[in-house]
Amino acid sequence: MATIGKLTAFRQFLGKAWALAAPYFRSDDRWKARGMLAAIIALNLALVYMAVLFNDWNRLFYDSLQNKQADVFWHQLGRFTYLAFAYIVIAVYRFYLTQLLEMRWRQWMTSHYLTRWLKDHAFYKLELSRFTGPQNALASNPDNPDQRIQEDLNLFTSYTISLTMGLLNSVVTLLSFVGILWGLSGGFAFSMFGSEYNIPGFMVWMALLYCTVGSVLTHYIGRPQIKLNFEQQRYEADFRHHMVRVREYSESIALDKGEAVERTQLNSRFTSLLGNYLKLIKAQKNLIWFTNFFGQAAVVFPFLVAAPRFFSGAIQLGELMQISSAFGQVQGALSWFVDSYSSLASWRATTDRLTSFEEAISSSALKNNDLIATDSVALDTKDLTVFLPTGGTLLDHAALSAKVSESVLLQGPSGSGKSTLFRVFAGIWPFASGHLERPTDAMFIPQRPYFPNGPLREALAYPDSPSSYTDEALQQALDDALLPALVDQLDRSDAWGQKLSGGEQQRLALARVFLKKPKWVFADEATSALDETAEKTLYKRLLALVESTKGAIISIAHRPAVAQFHKTRWQLEKQGTAVHEPYQLRQTSQ
Query: Which of 300, 329, 364 lies at the terminal end of a domain, its last residue?
Result: 364
Confirm whether 89 is domain-assigned: yes
pLDDT recorded at residue 342: 77
Q: Yes or no: say if 245 and 325 are a contact pair by the CB < 8 Å rule.
A: no
Chain-centre distance for alpha carbon 327:
42
Confirm whether 6 is domain-assigned: no
CA 159/CA 165 separation, integer angstroms: 10
Residues 326 and 391 reside in one and the same domain: no
Q: Among 371, 366, 370, which Cα is nearest to 425's?
A: 371
Residues 378 and 290 reside in one and the same domain: no
Query: Quick one: pLDDT band at residue 513, thresholds 50, 70, 90?
Result: very high
Confirm whether 4 is domain-assigned: no
Q: For position 547, which CATH number holds?
A: 3.40.50.300
Dihedral angle, C-alpha 7, 9, 14, 15, nearest 10 °: 120
* Mean pLDDT calculated for residue range 186-202: 63
Interval 229-246: pLDDT, tens: 878 878 888 888 888 878
Interval 263-285: pLDDT, tens: 888 888 889 888 898 988 888 88
Q: For position 350, which CATH number holds?
A: 1.20.1560.10
Confirm whether 579 is domain-assigned: yes
Residues 572 and 547 reside in one and the same domain: yes
| pLDDT of 310 higher than 90 | no
| pLDDT of 312 higher than 80 | no
**Helix or strand run (H / E) with residue 441:** none
**Helix or strand run (H / E) with residue 462:** none
Confirm whether 3 is domain-assigned: no
* Mean pLDDT calculated for residue range 512-519: 95
pLDDT recorded at residue 365: 64
| pLDDT of 316 higher than 90 | no
Residues 351 and 485 reside in one and the same domain: no
| pLDDT of 143 higher than 80 | no
**What value does the mean pLDDT of the chain take?**
83
Residues 348 and 491 reside in one and the same domain: no
Look up the domain containing 433 and give its range. Answer: 370-589
Distances (CA, A) of 115 to 20, 21, 108, 112: 15, 17, 11, 5
Confirm whether 2 is domain-assigned: no
Residues 202 and 309 reside in one and the same domain: yes
Q: Among 185, 207, 175, which Cα is nearest to 320's?
A: 185
H-helix segments, 335-453: 336-339, 341-364, 418-426
Residues 309 and 292 reside in one and the same domain: yes
**Residues paired with 61 in a beta bridge:** none
Query: Which of 294, 329, 364 lies at the terminal end of a domain, its last residue?
Result: 364
> 177-191, 229-243, 309-323, 356-370: which has the highest mean pLDDT?
229-243
Q: Residue 530 burial (CB < 10 Å; 0-12/13-18/19+)?
A: buried
The alpha carbon dihedral of 422, 424, 428, 431 has a sign of positive
**Residues paired with 382 in a beta bridge:** 435
Query: Which of 318, 341, 364 lies at the terminal end of a domain, its last residue?
Result: 364
Residues 303 and 404 reside in one and the same domain: no
Residues 118 and 46 reside in one and the same domain: yes
H-helix segments, 371-441: 418-426
**Helix or strand run (H / E) with residue 63:** helix 30-66
What pTM, to 2 d.p., does this model score?
Answer: 0.74
Q: Among 413, 207, 198, 246, which Cα is nearest to 327's?
A: 207
The one-character DSSP state at 440 is: S
pLDDT recorded at residue 141: 59
CA 72/CA 185 separation, integer angstroms: 25
Q: Among 276, 298, 179, 274, which Cα is nearest to 228's?
A: 276
Query: Quick one: pLDDT band at residue 467, thresholds 50, 70, 90?
Result: very high
**Helix or strand run (H / E) with residue 386:** strand 379-387
Local structure of 294: helix, strand or coil: helix
pLDDT recorded at residue 10: 72
Confirm whether 7 is domain-assigned: no
Interval 414-435: pLDDT, tens: 888 889 999 999 988 888 999 9
pLDDT recorded at residue 435: 93
pLDDT recorded at residue 235: 86
pLDDT recorded at residue 188: 59
Question: How many CB atoms are closer than 10 A to CB 376?
Answer: 12
Residues 84 and 214 reside in one and the same domain: yes
CA 510/CA 399 separation, integer angstroms: 29
| pLDDT of 12 higher than 90 | no
Tell me which of 41-45, 385-389, 393-397, 574-578 is least confident. Answer: 574-578
Confirm whether 29 is domain-assigned: yes
* Mean pLDDT calculated for residue range 367-384: 84
Residues 440 and 556 reside in one and the same domain: yes
**Residues paired with 439 in a beta bridge:** 376
Interval 110-139: pLDDT, tens: 999 888 888 888 888 887 776 554 444 444
| pLDDT of 349 higher than 90 | no
The residues, any chain, with a CB within 8 Å of residue 99's CB and separated by 6 or more, are none
Q: Yes or no: say if 32 and 100 are a contact pair by the CB < 8 Å rule.
A: no
Q: First and final CA of the chain: distance in angstroms? A: 73
* Mean pLDDT calculated for residue range 369-392: 86
Number of domains in the chain: 2
Chain-centre distance for alpha carbon 586:
45
Q: Between 114 and 328, where is the model more confident? A: 114
Residues 403 and 512 reside in one and the same domain: yes
